[in-house]
Structure 1
Amino acid sequence: MEVDKYILTEALSAILGVTVKLQSDCNDLDGAIKLQIAKLTTLALLKNEPVTCLTSSLSRLFVGDKKQSQETPRSESASSSVRKELFVISDDFFDPKFDFDFTNMSKPNFDSCMRGNEPYKRPYGWMRFALKVRDKYPDGNAWLGTEGWRSCSTPGEWPVSYHGTDLQGAAGIIQSQYMSGDRQAYGRGVYSSPDINIADMFAKTKNFISQKNGNTYKVIMQNRINPQIREKKTQYIWLVPIPEGTSVEEKKIVETSIRPYGLLLKKMEA
């Protein structure tokens, strides 16, 4: 699948529910918010990620010593305006050497890959675009496992899960359940699935029409999930429980539990 960085920013915009652009494509960065890899999870999953936490240092970076009109923390209603903000990513936000094309692959009769001591159900039918996550977290890279093809897990590796929730749907994924309709919920928290087909069926998966080439794509996030925090509710439904509390506590739980490492795209037929 031939996809350039512009289309990948469109995919990020769709799954996050915000406008994401390459920093090099922006002539005017006044007020823009730099999207860091380590902040991607909380932006995707927590609707109340404070805008001021992301903008204060960035504004100084992009607009010099320009005095900000509001230095005090914004109210909760104001912080929800994060959805209307412009986010920018560096040109090396993605890591093409770890991209993998599953679009024309079908599941073999015997597929025994393991990641984090769990079966790794590879995303057949999708194209994975890797995020540059190595060396971005203080605890190192063990959660990703070792590089290169392998069928077994490595020490300290986290298993793989999938979800496709945008920012507007984040309230539902936190307060209610991962699956839609009248299906059973297992408590408050972040739900994901180790099976791409389950995520495709039940997640708030986003379709978007690319302004670059006019094609329609579906996008899902591929994550690693902390096995020490994750709870298995069924064979296909995993939960990171988030009890009632402050947004700071929620943010800490999410950041230590789920780490996106790839965007999965599927071109839809016209």
Structure 2
Amino acid sequence: MSDIKLCLEALSALSGCTVEATTGSSQLTSQDFVNIVALKEFYKQEGFKELEYPSLGTLSLQDLENQDMYSAPPALTHGPVSASLKPTIKINTQDFFHPQYDYDFTNIKDGDKVFMRGNEKYVRPCGWKRIALRVEQKYEDGDSWLGTGNNAWPVSYHGHNMDGSLGIIITHDGPPDDEPNFLDAGAAALRNPDTRGRGVYSTPDIKMAEKYCKTFKYSVDGKTYKVVLQNRINPQKRKSCQREGVWLVYIPEGSTNLQEKAIIEKSLRPYGLLIKQE
């Protein structure tokens, strides 16, 4: 089993909460952590300062501590920063983690090898260490989403600061130009709410996720680590963005808090916590 304390601090960094071990029942599931990370980034896009989450209460969206070189600018909000304290989350590490499926990719280089998940290319997280999450038999529709067959969902990485803020949909790499296709795509994105970029972003490219990932300083050794969530994404619930290698789970205008949470739960499922020393 990996260093439990390091894993707990990685989860703390991702969620903005204080995550501690318990011998009792876990307060949150691994799906809850994906929900929290995704909703916090989405709410920051929307200009909110706080997120209300069931059983936790109010979570501040201000991430002013331990800013790292990959951090996006804080959300533009009015008024003072929320004084909410970090909630404490208790998890039973034996029920939460699944060491049988841990995998150390630290020194692995795949080169030209091709791996597939759900009939789509799987870019393995080479250079990272994966701590597996116990997710088997946790969903009503079974475990086929987690497999390697035709019914499996593709792999998706969620970086802490991946939010698009519309621009990831209607911009492209390189300097702006007057290319008609680009301008037409931008105009269409502004007209069509389904391409407006409102929702949760992830990527099949671990290198892109690393650019936006959360970093934290481990209290034991003082070293800085990166952390990313490794998920599977429902191919029926994602939208491809104009920028290659970016997927959007669209959240319609007017969705309630419960509907937003439900959309994420139907679209993104976690199975690995990725950690890498900076």
TM-score bracket, normalised by the shorter chain, equals: 0.7 to 0.9
Residue 54 (structure 1) shift: 1.8
Q: Who is 1:4 aligned against?
A: 3
TM-score (norm 2): 0.71
Matched position secondary structure for 1:256: helix
Amino acid at match of 1:161: S
Q: Who is 1:21 aligned against?
A: 20
Q: Who is 1:218 aligned against?
A: 226
Amino acid at match of 1:229: K
Instruction: Check 1:114–1:139 CA distance in 2 against 1; reply closer, same or farther (3 A cut).
Output: same
Q: Distance in 2 between matches of 1:158 and 1:82?
A: 37
Q: Runs in 1 of length 4+ with deviation above 4 angstroms?
A: 80-83, 174-179, 181-186
Residue 174 (structure 1) shift: 8.1
Q: Who is 1:71 aligned against?
A: none
Q: Distance in 2 between matches of 1:206 and 1:101?
A: 20
1:24-76: per-residue Cα shift (whole Å, max 9, x none)? 4xxxx9xx98122232221111136644x3269xxxxxxxxxxxxxxxxxxxx
Q: Which of 93, 104, 108 is 2:107 aligned to? A: 104
Amino acid at match of 1:40: F
Q: Who is 1:75 aligned against?
A: none
Q: Who is 1:73 aligned against?
A: none
Instruction: Check 1:192–1:251 CA distance in 2 against 1; reply closer, same or farther (3 A cut).
Output: same
Instruction: Check 1:35–1:83 CA distance in 2 against 1; reply closer, same or farther (3 A cut).
Output: farther
The percentage of aligned residue pairs carrying the same residue is 43
Q: Who is 2:141 aligned against?
A: 139
Instruction: Check 1:178–1:221 CA distance in 2 against 1; reply closer, same or farther (3 A cut).
Output: farther
Q: Which of 123, 126, 151 is 2:125 aligned to? A: 123
Q: Distance in 2 between matches of 1:159 and 1:226?
A: 7
Q: Distance in 2 between matches of 1:115 and 1:248?
A: 30
Question: Structure 1: any 5+ residue segments left out of the alignment?
Answer: 57-79, 146-152
Q: Who is 1:238 aligned against?
A: 247
Q: Who is 1:206 aligned against?
A: 214
Q: Who is 1:163 aligned against?
A: 158
Instruction: Check 1:227–1:81 CA distance in 2 against 1; reply closer, same or farther (3 A cut).
Output: farther
Question: Structure 2: any 5+ residue segments left out of the alignment?
Answer: 41-49, 58-81, 174-185, 187-194
1:173-205: per-residue Cα shift (whole Å, max 9, x none)? 3865669x998885101111101011112x2x1
Contact 2:119 2:150 in 1 (8 A): no
Matched position secondary structure for 2:55: helix
Contact 2:17 2:86 in 1 (8 A): yes
Task: Please provide the CA RMSD for this pair.
Answer: 3.0
Instruction: Check 1:229–1:217 CA distance in 2 against 1; reply closer, same or farther (3 A cut).
Output: same
Amino acid at match of 1:255: E
Contact 2:164 2:197 in 1 (8 A): no
Contact 2:56 2:87 in 1 (8 A): no
Amino acid at match of 1:173: D
